[in-house]
Amino acid sequence: MSFRFTQRWSRSRYAAKVKARASMRDRVLKAAADRLGPPAVALARARFAGQADIAIDPLETECRAHPRGFEVRAWALVPHSEVPARLANSLAPSIDKLSPLAPSVRQIFFLSTSYGIAIRDIAILLDMPRRDVRRAMLNAIASLDSKAEW
C-alpha cells in the first residue's frame, strides 16, 4: 500500500514539473513570436539598411499607422559637431561609464530604463536566466554610480 502512495505522489509531482516546463516554454515562444515583429518593421529595416545615420533596434517590434505609410522607432545619428556643448558635457560621463560594459549589459539597461520592461520579461526576450539579467542590470547601475576617481 505504501508503494502505491509513493508512486501516486511521484506521478503528481512529475506532472507538476511537466506543466511548469510547458508553461515556461509557452512564455518563451510567445516572447520570441512578439520579438519577430510585423512585416512593417522588417520592411523598414531593409529600406534603411544602407544608411549609416539611421538604425532600427534589433528588438524593435512596434510600428504605428501614419497618413503617408507607417512609422517605426529608429536611432538617428547626430554628429558631434551638431550637439550643443552643454548637452554633450552632461551626457559624456554616463556614456563613458557605460561604454566599457558588455553589449548585452548595455542592452539590458536600455530595455529596462527606456522601455520600462521588467527584468522577468527581459530574461524571456533575450533567452537568459533571470539571475543573469538582474546581475547585468546591477552592474550597469553600479558603473553609473561609481566615481571616476577615488
Residue 135 lies in a domain: yes
Domain of 131: which CATH number? Answer: 1.10.10
pLDDT score at 136:
95
Would you place residue 125 in the very low, low, confident or very high pLDDT band (cuts 50, 70, 90)? confident
Please provide the average confidence, as pLDDT, over all residues in the chain: 78
Residue 1 lies in a domain: no
Domain residue limits at 138: 80-150
Distance between CA atoms of residues 34 and 107, nearest Å:
18
Distance between CA atoms of residues 145 and 72, nearest Å:
33
135 phi/psi in degrees, rounded to 5: -65, -40
Residue 98 lies in a domain: yes
pLDDT score at 36:
43
Taking 60 as the threshold, does the pLDDT of residue 7 lie above it? no
Residue 24 lies in a domain: no
Tally of structural domains, the chain: 1
Residue 36 lies in a domain: no
Residue 100 lies in a domain: yes
The closest alpha carbon to 109, from 148, 62, 61, 142, belongs to 142
Q: Which of 1-5, 11-15, 66-70, 117-121 has the lowest mean pLDDT?
A: 1-5
Would you place residue 45 in the very low, low, confident or very high pLDDT band (cuts 50, 70, 90)? confident
pLDDT score at 147:
64
The closest alpha carbon to 24, from 12, 14, 16, 13, belongs to 16
What are the pLDDT digits (tens) for 50-94?
888 888 877 777 777 878 887 888 878 888 888 888 887 887 888
Residue 53 lies in a domain: no
Residue 26 lies in a domain: no
pLDDT score at 131:
96
Taking 60 as the threshold, does the pLDDT of residue 5 lie above it? no
88 phi/psi in degrees, rounded to 5: -60, -40
Exposed e or buried b per residue across 104-133, where buried means at least 16 C-beta atoms within 10 angstroms of its C-beta: ebbbbbbbbeeeebebebbbbbbebeeeeb
